[in-house]
Structure 1
Amino acid sequence: MALLGALLLVFASATSSVCWAHFIVEKSSIKVLSPLTLRSKHDGAIGNFGVPKYGGILVGSVAYPGKDVSSGCAAFDGDKPFKPESLRPTILLLDRGGCYFAKKVWHGQQAGAAAVLVADDRDEPLITMDSPEESSDADGYIEKIGIPSALIEKSFGESLKLALQKNEEVIIELDWRESMPHPDDRVEYEFWTNSNDECGIRCDEQMNFVKNFKGHAQILEKRGYTLFTPHYITWYCPRAFIESNQCKSQCINNGRYCAPDPEQDFGEGYDGKDVVIENLRQLCVHRIAKESNHSWVWWDYVTDFHIRCSMKEKKYSKDCGMDVIKSLGLPVDKIQRCIGNPEADVENEVLKTEQERQVGRGSRGDVTILPTLVINDVQYRGKLERTAVLKAICAGFKEGTDPLVCLSADLETNECLENNGGCWRDVQSNVTVTACRDTFRGRVCECPSVQGVQYKGDGYISCEAHGPGRCAISNGGCWSDTKDGITLSACSESQLSGCRCPPGFHGDGHTCEDVDECKEHLVCQCDGCSCKNKWGGFDCKCKGNQIYIAQNNTCIERNGSRLGWFVTLLVLAAVAVVAVGGYIFYKYRLRSYMDSEIMSIMSQYMPLDNHHAPEAQRDVQPLRGGTTV
Structure 2
Amino acid sequence: MATTQSLPPLIAVFFLSAAVIEFASGRLIVEKQNISVISPKSIKGRYEAAMANFGVPNYGGSLTGVVVYPEKGHTACAAFDGVRFRSKSKRPVILLVDRGRCYFALKAYNGQQAGAAAVIVADNVDEPLLTMDAPGFKLQDVIDRNNNEFIEKINIPSTLVTKEFGDELKAAVAKAGDEEVVIKMDWTESVPNPDRRVEYEFWTNSNDECGERCDEQLEFVRNFRGNAQLLEKGGFARFTPHYITWYCPEPLRQSLQCQAQCINHGRYCSPDPERNIWAGYTGKDILVENLRQICVHRVANETGRPWVWWDYVTDFSIRCSMKEKKYTKHCAERVVTSLGLSLDNVLKCMGNTEDDVENEVLKREQELRLGHGSRGDVAILPTLVINDVQYRGKLERTAVLKAICAGFEESTEPPVCLNPDIETNECLESNGGCWYDLQLNITACKDTFRGRICECPVVNNVQLSGDGYNSCTAVGPGRCAIDSGGCWSGTKDGRTFSACQDRDLNSCKCPSGFRGNGSDCKDVDECKEKLACNCPECSCRNTWGGYDCKCQGNLLYINSQDTCIARSESKFGWSLSFIALALVVSAAVGAYIFYKYRFRSYMDSEIMAIMSQYMPLDNHQKEMTQPLRENTLE
- Give the TM-score normalised by the residue count of structure 1: 0.71
Paired residues for 1:66-215 under 5 Å: 66-72=70-76, 73-75=78-80, 77=82, 81-82=86-87, 85=90, 89-90=91-92, 92-97=94-99, 98-109=101-112, 113-133=116-136, 138-140=148-150, 142-145=152-155, 147-164=156-173, 165-166=175-176, 167-183=178-194, 186-215=197-226
Paired residues for 1:129-528 under 5 Å: 129-133=132-136, 138-140=148-150, 142-145=152-155, 147-164=156-173, 165-166=175-176, 167-183=178-194, 186-221=197-232, 225-238=236-249, 241-399=252-410, 402=413, 406=417, 412-427=423-438, 429=439, 432-467=441-476
Taking a change above 3 Å as real, the CA distance of residues 395 and 19 of structure 1, as seen in their structure-2 partners, is: farther
Where 1:68 maps in the other structure, the secondary structure is coil
Cα deviation for residue 184 of structure 1 reads 5.2
Taking a change above 3 Å as real, the CA distance of residues 306 and 90 of structure 1, as seen in their structure-2 partners, is: same
- 1:43 is matched by which residue type in structure 2? E
8 Å contact kept, 2:7–2:275: no
Taking a change above 3 Å as real, the CA distance of residues 14 and 366 of structure 1, as seen in their structure-2 partners, is: farther
- 1:458 is matched by which residue type in structure 2? D
Q: 1:571 maps to what in 2? A: none
Output the CA distance in 1 between the equivalents of 2:470 and 2:172: 37
8 Å contact kept, 2:33–2:50: no
Deviates more, 1:290-299 or 1:381-390: 290-299
Residues 182-206 of structure 1 deviation map (CA, whole Å, 9 limit, x = unaligned): 4555543321111122223222222
Cα deviation for residue 275 of structure 1 reads 1.1
- 2:67 is matched by which residue type in structure 1? A
Where 1:384 maps in the other structure, the secondary structure is coil
Taking a change above 3 Å as real, the CA distance of residues 258 and 467 of structure 1, as seen in their structure-2 partners, is: same
Residues 136-189 of structure 1 deviation map (CA, whole Å, 9 limit, x = unaligned): 9842452551x3332111211222232332344444333334433445555433
Taking a change above 3 Å as real, the CA distance of residues 26 and 193 of structure 1, as seen in their structure-2 partners, is: closer
Residues 428-462 of structure 1 deviation map (CA, whole Å, 9 limit, x = unaligned): x3x53222222222222211123333221122232
Residues 17-68 of structure 1 deviation map (CA, whole Å, 9 limit, x = unaligned): 43586753456722334444323222110111233333x3425133214332
Output the CA distance in 2 between the equivalents of 1:99 and 1:475: 68
Deviates more, 1:486-495 or 1:193-202: 486-495
Output the CA distance in 2 between the equivalents of 1:108 and 1:160: 17
Output the CA distance in 2 between the equivalents of 1:10 and 1:82: 52
Q: Are 1:24 and 2:29 matched, yes or no?
A: yes
Residues 517-561 of structure 1 deviation map (CA, whole Å, 9 limit, x = unaligned): 9xx9999xxxxxxxx99999999xxxxx9xxx9x9xxxxxxxxxx
Output the CA distance in 1 between the equivalents of 2:396 and 2:443: 31
Output the CA distance in 2 between the equivalents of 1:26 and 1:272: 32
Where 1:159 maps in the other structure, the secondary structure is helix
Picking from 53, 78, 88, the partner of 2:58 is 53
Taking a change above 3 Å as real, the CA distance of residues 535 and 233 of structure 1, as seen in their structure-2 partners, is: same
Output the CA distance in 1 between the equivalents of 2:112 and 2:406: 24
Q: 1:63 maps to what in 2? A: 67
Where 1:117 maps in the other structure, the secondary structure is strand
Where 2:168 maps in the other structure, the secondary structure is helix
Taking a change above 3 Å as real, the CA distance of residues 9 and 78 of structure 1, as seen in their structure-2 partners, is: same
- 1:149 is matched by which residue type in structure 2? S
Cα deviation for residue 249 of structure 1 reads 3.2
Residues 550-604 of structure 1 deviation map (CA, whole Å, 9 limit, x = unaligned): x9xxxxxxxxxxxxxxxxxxxxxxxxxxxxxxxxxxxxxxxxxxxxxxxxxxxxx
Taking a change above 3 Å as real, the CA distance of residues 415 and 184 of structure 1, as seen in their structure-2 partners, is: closer
Taking a change above 3 Å as real, the CA distance of residues 288 and 140 of structure 1, as seen in their structure-2 partners, is: same
- 2:400 is matched by which residue type in structure 1? V
Structure with the greater alpha carbon radius of gyration: 1
8 Å contact kept, 2:204–2:243: yes
Aligned identity (percent) is: 57
Unmatched 5+ stretches in structure 2: 138-144, 532-540, 560-634
Taking a change above 3 Å as real, the CA distance of residues 203 and 432 of structure 1, as seen in their structure-2 partners, is: farther
Residues 286-323 of structure 1 deviation map (CA, whole Å, 9 limit, x = unaligned): 23344455444323322222232222333221011111
- Give the TM-score normalised by the residue count of structure 2: 0.70
Deviates more, 1:231-240 or 1:155-164: 231-240
Taking a change above 3 Å as real, the CA distance of residues 286 and 122 of structure 1, as seen in their structure-2 partners, is: same
Taking a change above 3 Å as real, the CA distance of residues 284 and 136 of structure 1, as seen in their structure-2 partners, is: closer
Taking a change above 3 Å as real, the CA distance of residues 200 and 299 of structure 1, as seen in their structure-2 partners, is: same
Unmatched 5+ stretches in structure 1: 524-531, 540-544, 552-629
Output the CA distance in 2 between the equivalents of 1:491 and 1:390: 46
Output the CA distance in 2 between the equivalents of 1:205 and 1:198: 11
Taking a change above 3 Å as real, the CA distance of residues 407 and 238 of structure 1, as seen in their structure-2 partners, is: same
What is the RMSD computed on CA atoms of the aligned residues? Answer: 4.9
Q: 1:610 maps to what in 2? A: none
- 1:417 is matched by which residue type in structure 2? L
Where 1:236 maps in the other structure, the secondary structure is coil
Taking a change above 3 Å as real, the CA distance of residues 118 and 500 of structure 1, as seen in their structure-2 partners, is: farther
